[in-house]
Amino acid sequence: MLVSARKRVLLLCASFVILSLLAPSNGAPNSVENINPSHNKTGQPLELTPKVSFQLKLHALFHWSSFGFLMPVGIILVRMSSKSQNGRCVRVLFYCHVILQIAAILLATGGAVLSLMNFENSFSNRHQRVGLALYGFIWLQPIIGFFRPERGAKVRSLWYFFHWLLGIAVCATGIANVYIGLHTYHERTTKSVRLWTGLLTLEVCFLAFFYLMIDRWSYMMKQGQLPVEQLRPIDNRRTYPTTLRKELSIVQE
């Protein structure tokens, strides 16, 4: 039953991608003309129409929400589940992890579809090339997750390593690409992005700190408590070395 449910979710996500790619792209030529770098040979900043400006902001919002928030929070939740001793809490955290990761993938896919439909895609800059690679890897990750081996299987450790490594790599690369996108937007339009760069940096630092704090939290809480050995009552009875006890027993006999 679990395998069939995973297949249904996978088919649903694939259908969403196919329908998005087949959707009509009204107004795409106008958008391409407005952000094509060939129209900026004079070095003058690009003048974006309100429609294109809104599409760019929506594209940035989708990717910021996906790579900069939902994916890191999902990773943090599954890390918290590994530290929890409550079975119900572990299940809740795991399902929240799955939901957030699926939402992040759908948002990133929506941003990709928006870019393909409305923007110039010659893949001549770093932001577009990195984004193209990310779109492939973000869909590889849930496929690996859906075919998770049962606990106790020999390949479970290998699966976990690749799933964890790919998730961290995709999340980190996605955040870096958001920075690259902000820088590219500034170069094309000369508009300041310091505020958004600062907010993204603050958010990433907080999430990274929280991620690292999970391992140390229980250890920090134990620092204010005495070890179990020191809490045991002290035995006031006189003790003797083993050899002396033997001699005393002989004398008593």
Question: For residue range 152-182, what is the model confidence (pLDDT) as tens digits?
Answer: 888 888 998 999 999 999 999 999 999 999 9
pLDDT at 25: 40
Per-residue confidence band for 203, with pLDDT thresholds at 50, 70 and 90: very high
Per-residue confidence band for 45, with pLDDT thresholds at 50, 70 and 90: low
Per-residue confidence band for 128, with pLDDT thresholds at 50, 70 and 90: confident
- CA–CA separation, 79 vs 145, rounded Å? 15
Contact indicator for 80, 218 with CB cutoff of 8 Å? no
Select from 193, 139, 175, 119 the least CA-distant residue to 10. 139
9 has a pLDDT exceeding 80: no
pLDDT at 44: 56
Report residue 92 as tokens.
């809740």
Instruction: List own/partner pairs for 22-26 with CB under 8 A and 24 or more apart.
Output: 23/113, 23/117, 25/116, 25/117, 25/118
70 has a pLDDT exceeding 80: yes
Question: For residue range 204-217, what is the model confidence (pLDDT) as tens digits?
Answer: 999 999 888 887 77
As a whole number, mean pLDDT of residues 61-65 equals 93
As a whole number, mean pLDDT of residues 181-192 equals 86
As a whole number, mean pLDDT of residues 105-124 equals 83
Q: What is the dihedral of CA 48, 111, 168, 98, to 10 degrees?
A: 150
Contact indicator for 108, 63 with CB cutoff of 8 Å? yes
Question: For residue range 13-24, what is the model confidence (pLDDT) as tens digits?
Answer: 544 444 444 444
Give the CATH fold of the 2-15+47-227 domain: Four Helix Bundle (Hemerythrin (Met), subunit A) (1.20.120)
With a CB cutoff of 8 Å and minimum separation 6, the contacts of 12 are none
HEC secondary structure over 168-188 = HHHHHHHHHHHHHHHHHHHHH
Select from 108, 109, 121, 107 the least CA-distant residue to 29. 121
Residue ranges of alpha helices (H) inside 119-155 are: 126-146
Report residue 36 as tokens.
């094509």
Contact indicator for 178, 63 with CB cutoff of 8 Å? yes
87 has a pLDDT exceeding 70: yes
52 has a pLDDT exceeding 60: yes
As a whole number, mean pLDDT of residues 119-132 equals 80
Select from 205, 203, 60, 190 the least CA-distant residue to 119. 60
10 has a pLDDT exceeding 90: no
pLDDT at 149: 86
Select from 72, 80, 85 the least CA-distant residue to 214. 80
Per-residue confidence band for 40, with pLDDT thresholds at 50, 70 and 90: very low
Per-residue CA distances from 175 to 77, 142, 195, 234 (Å): 18, 19, 16, 56
Q: What is the dihedral of CA 206, 208, 211, 213, to 10 degrees?
A: -70
As a whole number, mean pLDDT of residues 126-145 equals 87
Which is higher by pLDDT, 73 or 37? 73
Select from 111, 112, 33, 99 the least CA-distant residue to 70. 99
pLDDT at 223: 72
